[in-house]
Amino acid sequence: MRRNETNLSIVVLILMVFALGCGSSFYSGVNDADNKVERGRLKFAKSVVDLNTGTDPLYRKVRQYFFVDGKQWTPAGDEHLADRINWCDTSPNPKVEILRCFGDSSEAYNTTYILRMKDDKPELQKIDEGTGSVWADGDGRWLLFRKLFLNVETGESVEVKGMPFADDKIASAPVQYVVGISPDRKTVVAMPDSATHSKGSEDFLTLWIIDAETGRTEKREVSFTKNPWLKDHQDPADNVQPPPAASKKFVWVKDQQGKLQPAL
């Protein structure tokens, strides 16, 4: 009934605008490519209706939805969750059936939601670790937040220690400064400050080599002149945030304790 009333209101507004002779309208629906994110049986989508008189806005209506198996879905006890989502993306691995969704200003941009399928049913997980998590690698199953690794398929989490700004939720997020993660996820390479300084004929920058289990951190000066790939960047595409571009070029070797370290 409410949808019928909304549709009637839109029709009336359209008629009013065109009766004035100076109106225009725009509608984008939940199946428009720019307004949806989907992976397998999961989809987040929005519909937008804009009406204007000349250059002046007259009416705007935005509605957002989750769909599972083609049917509109809301989590139990939180039927308005979709309205609090800023946007969603998905795993860089096309075989991983999840959506990663980001809370909007009503949640202080401080929450990430993972929507997955488990036993052929949707399962929602909320993580109060901000919205700037970073993929550990192209396998697209593990995300690194400020204080934990999260397996997006299973919900398993592993504590992480020593990350920069871990207790400051409005400071830089991992996606902004993590440049590499070891294959065993026990070492994180961070670059909180990308500024270089000259020494002789070379430029250098400082990397943080973080033991994710103990929090022990080594601040290592590295030649940027010899390793310019450390500032490589790759933009998101098709609603996928890739792992750090530099991470693909790290060479990892075991130290005396058997932990993987970057060979720099």
Give the domain ranges of the chain.
1-64, 74-262
C-alpha distances out from residue 114 to 101, 109, 162, 220, 236, Å: 6, 15, 24, 35, 18
The rounded distance, in Å, linking the Cα atoms of 88 and 188 is 25
Closest-CA residue to 186 (of 152, 154, 209)? 209
The pLDDT assigned to 8 comes to 53
The rounded distance, in Å, linking the Cα atoms of 173 and 179 is 12
CB 143 within 8 A of CB 153: no
The pLDDT assigned to 7 comes to 55
pLDDT under 50: residue ranges of the chain? 2, 12-25
Rounded to two decimals, the pTM is 0.85
Burial class (CB in 10 A: 0-12, 13-18, 19+), 169: middle
The pLDDT assigned to 257 comes to 86
The pLDDT assigned to 27 comes to 54
Query: What residues have CB less than 8 Å from 184, skipping those under 6 apart?
Result: 259, 260
Query: What residues have CB less than 8 Å from 171, skipping those under 6 apart?
Result: 164, 165
The pLDDT assigned to 53 comes to 66
Cα distance from N-terminal residue to C-terminal residue, the chain: 64
The pLDDT assigned to 48 comes to 76
